Amino acid sequence: MHLYTVSEKLEQLRQQLKNQKIDAFIAMSADPHLSEYLPDYWKIREWLTGFTGSVGTIVVTQNFAGLWVDGRYWVQAEQQLAETGFILQKLTQDESSTHLAWLAQHLPSGANIAVNGQTISVQQFQALNNIAQKYNFRLDTHHDLITTIWTNRPALPQRPVSLMTEGLNAFSYKEKIDLIRQHLNKKSVAAHFISAVDDIAWILNSRGSDVEYNPIFLAHLYINTTRVVLFIDSAKINDVVRAQFHVDGIEIFPYEASIDFLNQMTDQSILIDPAKVTILHEYSLRKEIKITHDINPSTLLKSCKQSSEIAHIRHAMLKDGVALCHFFHWLDTALSQNTPISELSIDEKISAFRAQQPGFIGLSFSTIAGFNANGALPHYRATPEQYSMIQGDGLLLIDSGGQYVDGTTDITRVVPIGTPTDMQKRDYSLVLKCHIALAQTKYPEGLAAPLLDAICRNHLWQYGLDYRHGTGHGVGYALNVHEGPQVLSYYAPISPYSKLREGMITSNEPGLYHEGQYGIRIENLVVNQLVQSNNNNYGDFLEFETLTLCPIQLNCIVKELFTATEIDWLNTYHQTVREKLAPQLTGEVLTWLIDNTQAI
């Protein structure tokens, strides 16, 4: 079978545009569930452009092909798009840098724009439609131009769904459905339609493996006062799960039946999340139905982990910490013996040590092991075709995570290789100071998460330095490693749903990247806990409890840059790591832990 180049695919797409009388084609990085991570069937942007980052928007006309990505991916996209016919479009906070602004500036009045209605959210479509009305563009949401030219397109996955072990969840799925119904009642809404796959997995206390690294399954869910309907490929439901769902009144409909079901529903009102439901699903509703646009109630509910669930997550962190101690001991030993090590072997070894832990399911994302210049790419991934050996002097950035039955982990550490430069030591110290600043912060409950970002970045800002990604993202409970609604980033808009609440788990991951030289990121996961206080005059306050258990490399810091309070935090953290992990380790690995958690 002939494997088409990106340029050949682009030529075929343009022929389709010509045949269908379409002036511009838009492709979002999305599927019918508006997921961040996609099944192979929906990796249209990656298949068409060759760009392997997790996000990006494509616009193609007869004389232009552009890919819009944010600052995390500029270097990677420029490399991967070289000589493909696609041009990197640098997306920033400036609205003039968006693909919508490009359409407004370059397309003639009356232009016909095609976008697959299965892969664009109601919210995104509203923004596109505003531009279309202003500039007299016509929008076509029904053409799937890619299927015609993607002749060897992968099939949709059909992997089995399983129920989580009894006792892992604080609430049964019947209790969660009742909580959602209570929310609908308060909103005076009769029904709710959900496409977000992590929300559906959370509601039903079920897990799957339809998407790499994410324990989810492709499905839609409908809830009203009397019915719960799951739209899913029936081949994924075994007899045990089917029987349990039947007992609890959960109906199973074909996956592709959701559009017709909504078109024929008898409820007079429905709640949908405009950021998590496609325009095709909303358009299927009859015009007389009242639509309430609001965040999925389940998104807010699942973001606040219960105390019993946090206890399970701490256990997952303990197992992950044990695996990481074995890995870093192996790494130090291999380096001291001049054993050849590559970025690929880093990935293999860290995955193998995690796999030895009980309850390990798989990785929570593809391991990032970047040495020197590769570490300056925030979402770098080594491949057999392109990787670096770990040799000479420099910094090795390792960002990795695991999925366990009782929790999801995400951690980044930087290891100095050979002799780091004074500048590398200073930069490492500044990033660590940023990390500690956020870890020590106390703040009012309900504070908008983006507001905390400045506290973290301040130590870099004092040196005229910064980084182009958020400081923290929400993390799921044995679910997706990226989860909303909270996000620690001054780039993010402040909304009623960005408030920090007790039980939320978030990453603390400041970084610094010098293109072509090296990258630094230090990441732990933290959970919002109530501050114990008798002073209620100003309401409740929260603080971060650090969950991740793994030493932070000490031989790359400039101690003089740290205050006594910062050193105390670091020593206390390492004492905690040592006390919790030491009983799980023996021999040389235990010695390694003790050596790497000494007070400074």
For 160-183, write each residue's pLDDT tens digit.
Answer: 999 999 999 999 999 999 999 999
Looking at residue 2, what is its pLDDT?
A: 60
Q: What is the pLDDT of residues 241-277, one digit of tens each?
A: 999 999 999 999 999 999 999 999 999 999 999 999 9
* pLDDT value at residue 534: 66
- For residue 157, tell me if it sits in a domain: no
Quote the number of domains for the chain.
3
Same domain, 178 and 92: no
Q: How far apart are CA 133 and CA 283, in angstroms?
A: 18
Clarify whether residues 406 and 441 are in a common domain.
yes
Q: Are 211 and 162 within 8 A, CB to CB? A: no
pTM of structure: 0.95
Range of the domain at 103: 6-149
Looking at the structure, tell me whether residues 195 and 96 fall in a common domain.
no
Residues 451 and 388 in one domain: yes
CATH code for position 578: 3.90.230.10
Domain stops at, among 118, 149, 180 = 149
Confidence of residue 298 (pLDDT cuts 50, 70, 90): very high
**396 pLDDT band (50/70/90 cuts)?**
very high
269 found inside a domain: yes
Residue 521, strand partner residues = 511
- Residue 515, domain member (yes or no): yes
Q: 218 in a domain, yes or no?
A: yes
pLDDT exceeding 90 applies to what percent of the chain? 92
- Looking at 266, 297, 328, the residue that finishes a domain is 297
Does residue 555 fall inside a structural domain? Answer: yes
The reply to whether 268 and 285 lie within a common domain is yes
DSSP secondary structure, 248-306, as one string? TTEEEE-GGGHHHHHHH---SEEEE-TTTSBHHHHHTS-TTSEEEE---HHHHHHHS--
Q: Is the peptide bond before 510 cis (omega within 30 degrees of 0)?
A: no
Residue 41 domain flag: yes
Let me know whether 186 and 253 are in one domain: yes
Residues 364 and 394 in one domain: yes
Q: What average pLDDT does the segment 54-59 reach?
A: 93
CATH of the domain at 144: 3.40.350.10
Mean pLDDT within 294-319? 98
Is 457 within the bounds of a domain? yes
201, 207 Cβ separation under 8 angstroms: yes
Q: Are residues 265 and 385 in the same domain?
A: no
| The pLDDT of residue 533 is above 90 | no
pLDDT at 91: 94
Whether pLDDT at 576 is above 70: yes
- Is the pLDDT at 233 greater than 70? The verdict is yes
Element (H, E) at 516: none
53 pLDDT more than 90? no
For the chain, give the mean pLDDT.
96
Q: What's residue 107's pLDDT?
A: 97
Amino acid at 436: I
What's the mean pLDDT in 102-119?
A: 97
Residue 4: per-residue pLDDT = 86
Residue of 448, 451, 528, 454 whose CA lies nearest to 495: 448
Query: d(Cα 207, Cα 215) in Å, to the nearest integer?
Result: 5
Which pLDDT value is given to residue 72? 85
| C-alpha separations of 317 from 88, 312, 323, 360 in Å | 39, 9, 10, 12
The HSE-up count of residue 226 (CA atoms within 13 Å, CB side) is: 2
* Residue that terminates a domain, selected from 81, 114, 149: 149
Same domain? For 14 and 143 the reply is: yes
Could you please report the per-residue DSSP string of 34-69? --SS--GGG-HHHHHH---SS--EEEE-SS-EEEEE
Residues 398, 449, single domain; the answer is yes
Record the tokens describing residue 113, joined without a space: 């724009």
What is the distance between the alpha carbons of residues 437 and 600, in angstroms, rounded to a whole number? 18
Q: Is residue 402 exposed (0-12), middle (13-18) or buried (19+ Cβ within 10 Å)?
A: buried
Does 76 map to a domain?
Answer: yes
- Under the banding of pLDDT at 50, 70 and 90, the label for residue 93 is confident
475 and 345 both lie in a single domain: yes
Could you tell me the pLDDT band of residue 1, with boundaries at 50, 70 and 90? low
Q: 401-460: per-residue pLDDT in tens?
A: 999 999 999 999 999 999 999 999 999 999 999 999 999 999 999 999 999 999 999 999
Note the pLDDT tens digit of each residue in 117-171: 999 999 999 999 999 999 999 999 988 899 989 999 999 999 999 999 999 999 9
| Mean pLDDT on 570-584 | 98
The answer on 516 and 383 residing in a single domain is yes
Q: What is the pLDDT of residue 71?
A: 86
- Look at residue 483 in the predicted model and tell me its pLDDT: 96
| Spatial CA neighbour of 169 closest among 310, 299, 303 | 310
Structure tokens at 394: 């420099």
**Residue 285 CB contacts under 8 Å (≥ 6 apart), including other chains:** 262, 263, 265, 270, 291
Provide the 10 A C-beta neighbour count for residue 223.
Answer: 22
pLDDT digits (tens, 9 = 90+) for 335-380: 999 999 999 999 999 999 999 999 999 999 999 999 999 999 988 9
